């Protein structure tokens, strides 16, 4: 007759079940740690009282008033801020992917004088955080803006230029490791057929490295989309500011009373990131793993 007590007294079965329960507990804790902040922000966005003192996981004053005040506010043009962030981040991501891909292809496939020193220089520059160069970046963009206004202060062109300067180095290094994993026999076969270096890059190598291109594009988009320090330094006009600066206004101006509106803006602002991750999830996972080992 089947007995749970006798089964539990079996050391092998007991250890297997204890290990299974331990793994379930770890998974539950990880999911709780990941999703609780999202649930709390969602709850705060639906709390029409809008204060931290009355904030609970299940709000009493349940409603969509915070979303209405967020989307219909002349002093805080949230839709314009969100559009500015999407535009700046998209342009930065596309330019960063294209320029970094060209640089990574050159470092991976060509041998020229100063190649190793240039690679080490790019790597050492990335060691210093962007916060240390913020003053130099401001002065540089200010000087460029005197001659080319759309690349200066209070212009999205100047902000994109600053983002590209900080992202190209690490992106080039990340792409180079993936380019090295592509067999060189493909290049040699194409050259025998008379293909040029540009044709080899664009028609043969470029389609094979799509996973790492997606990784670089997503990371660049997320990094620029949520940046506050650089954008706050270079953009002072309210109509050209990005979403991160706009949400910062709710915190710095009147944090306690505008908490619900801030939470609603944070949830809506996260939608483009979620869509981007879900769309390129397949390339994102493979791009992070395949380029780690040189084939």
Q: What's the DSSP call for residue 200?
A: I
- Which of these, 100, 69, 106, lies nearest to 250 by C-alpha position? 69
Q: Using an 8 Å Cβ cutoff, are 123 and 173 in contact?
A: yes
Give the pLDDT score at 287: 52
Q: How many residues does the chain have?
A: 295
Is the pLDDT at 152 greater than 80? The verdict is yes
pLDDT band at 11 (very low <50, low <70, confident <90, very high): low
The domains found in the chain, sorted by start residue, are 4-68 (no CATH), 73-290 (1.10.3720.10)
Q: Is 9 exposed, middle or buried (0-12, 13-18, 19+ CB in 10 A)?
A: exposed
Q: How far apart are CA 182 and CA 164, in angstroms?
A: 26
| Better pLDDT: 275 or 128 | 275
The predicted model gives 110-137 an average pLDDT of 79
Is the pLDDT at 149 greater than 70? The verdict is yes
**229-247 pLDDT per residue, tens:** 888 889 888 888 899 888 8
Give the pLDDT score at 295: 41
- The residues near 222 (Cβ < 8 Å, ≥ 6 apart) are 273, 276
Give the pLDDT score at 293: 44
Tokens of 234: 């270079």
Task: Give percent of the chain above pLDDT 70.
Answer: 85
**39-78 pLDDT per residue, tens:** 888 888 887 776 666 667 777 777 777 888 888 877 778 8
pTM, 2 dp: 0.82
- The residues near 64 (Cβ < 8 Å, ≥ 6 apart) are 46
Give the pLDDT score at 292: 44
- Which of these, 150, 160, 153, 145, lies nearest to 88 by C-alpha position? 160
Tokens of 279: 């769309």
How high does pLDDT run on average in the chain? 81
Give the pLDDT score at 22: 84
Give the pLDDT score at 75: 72
């Amino acid at each position: 007759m089947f007995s749970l007590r006798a089964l539990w007294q079996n050391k092998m079965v007991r250890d297997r079940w204890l290990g299974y329960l331990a793994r379930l507990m770890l998974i539950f804790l990880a999911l709780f740690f990941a999703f609780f902040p999202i649930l709390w922000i969602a709850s705060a966005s639906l709390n029409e009282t809008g204060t931290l003192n009355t904030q609970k996981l299940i709000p009493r004053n349940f409603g969509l008033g915070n979303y209405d005040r967020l989307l219909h506010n002349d002093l805080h043009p949230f839709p314009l801020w969100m559009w500015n962030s999407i535009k700046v981040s998209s342009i930065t991501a596309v330019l960063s992917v294209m320029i970094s891909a060209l640089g990574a292809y050159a470092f991976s496939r060509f041998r020229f004088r100063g190649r190793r020193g240039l690679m080490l220089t790019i790597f050492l520059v990335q060691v210093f955080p962007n916060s240390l160069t913020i003053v130099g970046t401001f002065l540089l963009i200010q000087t460029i803006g005197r001659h080319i206004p759309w690349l200066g202060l209070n212009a999205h062109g100047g902000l994109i230029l600053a983002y590209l300067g900080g992202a190209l180095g690490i992106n080039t290094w990340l792409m180079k490791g993936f380019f090295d994993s592509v067999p060189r026999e493909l290049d040699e076969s194409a050259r025998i057929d008379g293909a040029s270096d540009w044709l080899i890059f664009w028609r043969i190598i470029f389609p094979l490295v799509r996973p790492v291109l997606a990784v670089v594009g997503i990371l660049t988009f997320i990094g620029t989309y949520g940046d506050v320090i650089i954008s706050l330094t270079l953009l002072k006009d309210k109509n050209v500011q990005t979403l991160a600066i706009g949400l910062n206004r709710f915190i710095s101006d009147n944090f306690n009373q505008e908490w619900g509106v801030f939470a609603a803006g944070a949830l809506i602002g996260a939608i483009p990131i979620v869509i981007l991750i879900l769309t390129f999830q397949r390339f994102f996972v493979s791009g992070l793993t395949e380029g780690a080992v040189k084939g």
